[in-house]
Structure 1
Amino acid sequence: MSLFPPDIEQTATKIIADFTAKGLMVVTAESCTGGLIAAALTEIAGSSAVVDRGLVTYTNEAKADILGVSVDTLKNFGAVSRETALEMAAGALKASQAQVSVSVTGIAGPGGGSATKPVGLVHLAASNRQGKVLHREKRYGDIGRSDVRLATLRTAFEMLQEIAEA
């Protein structure tokens, strides 16, 4: 029995198989998902060939210290921003042996939202060592903390599959 819904387990299984076949390793840099992306991947047998490490950087200090996100970026754009997600993805690659990274930062709720950054807003980024970079801004809405986190996980998996094709 998996900890995750069947569609997530199926996608994780496909990612592990595809990345293994391509010799790719992944690093995750997670804020609002708190390690769910790494957990879903490592739920799959054989994931040790694919998952280099998972970095949970929940605070601004962790984003700066571990991932090298610029203090100016955090001050000027905030933790939940395109700029921060992109710097998180780049920093994760630098902090790992992986060829591919995915990062997420958002507001899962139920509190913490504002008029400009509502609950359910998540910025995701993925990058590879060849310089390909993806970004997505998702507005899942105030659908509940768990559902925002699972929706983010699904989007992160889509982005990992897309960056692996690059």
Structure 2
Amino acid sequence: MRVVIQRSKQASVSVNDKITGAIDSGYVLLVGLTHNDSLEDVKYVAKKVAELRLWEDDAGKMNHSITEHGGAILSVSQFTLYADTSKGRRPSFIDAARPETALPLWEAFNEELRDVHGLQVETGVFGAMMDVSLINDGPVTIIVESKTKE
């Protein structure tokens, strides 16, 4: 599982010019899943997202998590995070999980953030062509991968 976290001041996602999710301050999460991801990966990454200290304290150091800072999450499924560009000019997406595997895991990830970590989670639409708009705060962009867990 691979998640790109973008700290944002404001963000939204729309499908066919209709907003499906919008947040003010928080994270935009681009969520990619691969074939061998499991609920263990989902729980690990959700905990990491909720607990990463990416918000500044009074001294200007990144010492607060999103749960301490307050804020919401905009979760967008993105199979292209598993693009293989090592050969040719057209990326291969063979490492991305098929929809029947990815969708339940993405939904479980969003529920884990909501139910276990108490975060407000808005979403895009799985498998749809989406327009994502955000104001990146910082900019702060972090990549979390479950395969690098300790």
Structures share a fold, TM > 0.5? Answer: no
- The structure carrying a bigger strand percent of its residues is 2
TM-score (norm 1): 0.29
- The structure carrying a bigger helix percent of its residues is 1
TM-score (norm 2): 0.31
